[in-house]
Chains A and B, each alone.
Chain A
Amino acid sequence: MPKVNLSHFEAAILFALFASIVMAITSKRTDKERLSYGLYLFGCFVATLIGLAWVMKLGHG
């Protein structure tokens, strides 16, 4: 079985991608709404990821 070594950032982006796809598909009714909500969710995940990374970096000094 192959072994994958991803960085924190890569793993979190991958998580955000899969979660955004499924959450958008299951929570909206039209394809257009799904696409825009999926992009919005993915953007929120990435913004939170980068924001929290900065908080941790600044918190550690």
Chain B
Amino acid sequence: MMPAESKPAPGLMSWLPVVLLGWLIPGGGHFLLRRRGRAWMISLSVILMFLFGLFMRGAFFTPQTGDLLTTLINVGGFVGNLCTGLLYFLATWLGYDQPDLAGHVHDYGTKFLVSAGLLNILGMVDAYEIASGKKD
């Protein structure tokens, strides 16, 4: 039996700018790759989700450490927030600092802010796969 032929790893510069732009501007990587339809859909979904999170007065996570669960929730949430790229930086720069309040609307808002980042990660992975030739 012939050994499976392995493809050479794609060059860093073929996917890094795409992934970075996709992180900073949701859907930006797809725009750079001229996948406009997908770019708009990802961009609008992530931005609207983030905006709904803000409008519901969700809180941003801060990277607190402590016991395992505290660390997992707060550091994971912070990473999720960071993954919305410029949206997160712009909101914090403009002074958005919502304390974590009780109530289902605030709670959903916090989850929306993190989920927007997680959806953006999916967009970045998709952009990486397109840029590295693993996908059309």
Binding site for B on A (CB under 8 A): 1-6, 8, 11-12, 14-15, 18-19, 21-23, 25-26, 29, 31
Q: Are A22 and B45 in contact (CB under 8 A)?
A: yes
User: B42 at the A/B interface (Cβ < 8 Å)?
Assistant: yes
Q: How far is the CA of A3 from the CA of B56 in the complex (A)?
A: 6
Q: Are B108 and A6 in contact (CB under 8 A)?
A: yes
Binding site for A on B (CB under 8 A): 37-38, 41-42, 45-46, 48-49, 52, 54-57, 104-105, 108, 111-112, 115-116, 119, 122-123, 125-126, 135-136
Residues of B within 8 A of A31 (CB): 37
Residues of B within 8 A of A26 (CB): 42, 122-123, 125-126
Q: Are A6 and B56 in contact (CB under 8 A)?
A: yes
Known: A5-B105, A8-B104, A15-B115. A22 touches B55 (CB 8 A): no
Q: How far is the CA of A12 from the CA of B42 in the complex (A)?
A: 19
Q: How far is the CA of A18 from the CA of B49 in the complex (A)?
A: 7
Q: Are A3 and B55 in contact (CB under 8 A)?
A: yes
Q: How far is the CA of A15 from the CA of B46 in the complex (A)?
A: 11
Q: Are B104 and A19 in contact (CB under 8 A)?
A: no
Chain B CB within 10 A, most for which of A5, A18, A23: A18
Q: How far is the CA of A36 from the CA of B54 in the complex (A)?
A: 31
- Out of B49, B112, B122, name the residue touching A23 (CB < 8 Å): B122
Q: List 15 A-B contacts (CB under 8 A).
A: A3-B56, A4-B55, A8-B104, A11-B56, A18-B48, A18-B49, A18-B115, A18-B116, A19-B115, A19-B119, A22-B41, A23-B119, A26-B122, A26-B123, A29-B135
